[in-house]
Chain A
Amino acid sequence: MSTATEDVDLVGEEIAANIARAALFAALTGVFAYVSFQLPVTSVPFTLQVLGVFLAGVFLGPVWGVASMVLYVVAGAVGAPVFAYGSAGLGSLFGQWGGYLWSYPLAAGIVGIGVHGRGELADPGHVGLGRLVGAMAAATLVIYAFGTLGYAIVGDVSLVTALVAAALPFVPAEAIKAAATVAIVRSDAVTAR
């Protein structure tokens, strides 16, 4: 048996810390995909995945927020059961709801840029309400545009059907998730490090 001896090229402290945070937010988004709540009036069950997308953008900023959601999508593609209701796999990305999954990295980037701008990361607790809500509204729009289009193309249905089946029932839930994100960011319970 032979032993290979090579120089060890250590990963820097900052990158190690950031990859840990990105992986944790990706896993958190995956766990949120299992937590399902019911809307009071329509009783449509919905999951909290998008909340994970919002939080990744708000707490990690544009660069690592995107990285975190890329990790989420890739981990799901190779078999981690992180997509809605515990599904996973390459097939999910090309399935009926694949459009939603493709949009998450982009949406996290939009939230990140909207909240932090292009420079240093700001303290999310001190970002104005308008910026927070605006960034999340823009991200929600992108997520639903991708999702509805994906559902219509892959499912071979009209855009109207796709809107009725895959978007409209869930929009009220997004407003609740955005409100929850604002509440979390503004509360003292969570301090970003």
Chain B
Amino acid sequence: MLTYEPGDSVGHRVGARSKLLLQAAFAGAAFAHTDPVGLAALTGLALALLALAATPPRAVFAEYRGVLPFLAAAPAIESFRLGAPWVDPAAAVGPALAAYRTLLLLALVAAYVRTTPVRESEAAVARLVPGKPGRLLGLGVGLVFRLLPVLQADLARTREAMAVRLGDRRPLRERIRLVATAGLTRALSRTDRLAVALRARCLSWNPTPPEATFGRADALALLLAVALLAWAAWDVWPALGVGG
């Protein structure tokens, strides 16, 4: 499972907000340059960023094993023709490039998750969205991160208990109902305790946030993001009829 790995790589030192911005800029550039040359350049950049974040490409592939067949489905279906010669490879080029682009974006996600602690992601959300909505969003996101393993263990126990009692031979609808009911009752029983615990700890609108720093690595990440956005705009502007 994709989780934070402690370390001291460059990727670990860059702030969460800079990394999120860099990801958005990378996505923008990838959408503006979905051609073999553009994607080749972005592949180089992605590999460099993975290396800086101490995330081997092998780990990325292992992480997304389940997703790869679905990515390959679109080009395969698009190249299929109802009639001779049955397969039209030219039609698969566009979808294949798009699928590859998705893979590049997912690789950066893996690097982000492996180098960013939950606390920082939470604070980044609260800082990006101002005021009370931002506080609620940050608080909620932090709770989701922390509740996820708890509920996952609940559900794993349920499925195990079902399997032991031969429940996995029941019809599909029945199995889904059992798993969902167990998950829901556990979640609801945790809700009340969580709400009491939040109030007992004086849940406030104005907590003390972790310190925000802006170092040299952040400046470089910011510069790279701006460069990527400029590169994306370079192609998109003339197409929109603005300038040029």
Contact = CB atoms under 8 A, between A and B. Distances in A.
A95 B105 contact: yes
Interface residues of B, number: 81
A23 B185 contact: no
A11 B204 contact: yes
B77 A165 contact: yes
Given A31-B151, A157-B77, A187-B181, A75 B145 contact: yes
Given A80-B144, A81-B3, A183-B177, A91 B27 contact: yes
Contacts of B169: none
A19 B141 CA distance: 10
A71 B99 CA distance: 27
A88 B110 CA distance: 8
A19 B173 CA distance: 31
A181 to B, nearest CB: 8
Interface string B15-27: 0100010011001
Interface in B1-56: 1-3, 16, 20, 23-24, 27, 31, 34
Given A31-B155, A88-B113, A95-B102, A189 B203 contact: no
A9 B3 CA distance: 33
A34 interface: yes
Residue among A16, A96, A192 having the largest count of chain B Cβ atoms under 10 Å: A96
Given A28-B151, A79-B113, A55 B206 contact: no
A36 to B, nearest CB: 9
A27 B192 CA distance: 15
A92 B144 contact: no
B221 interface: no
B166 interface: no
Contacts of B205: 9-11
Contacts of B77: 157, 161, 164-165
Interface in B180-198: 180-181, 183-185, 187-188, 190-192, 194-195, 198
Given A24-B147, A193-B192, A78 B141 contact: yes
Residue among A6, A27, A72 having the largest count of chain B Cβ atoms under 10 Å: A27
A32 B151 CA distance: 10
Contact of B141 (A74, A90, A157, A184): A74
A134 interface: no
A21 to B, nearest CB: 5
A85 B67 contact: yes
Contacts of A89: 23, 105-106, 108-110, 112-113
Interface string B135-157: 01101110111011011101100
Given A51-B180, A72-B144, A96-B74, 5 more contacts: A30-B151, A31-B152, A51-B176, A81-B148, A96-B98
The 6 closest A-B pairs by CB, nearest first: A89-B109, A91-B105, A23-B143, A27-B147, A85-B66, A75-B144
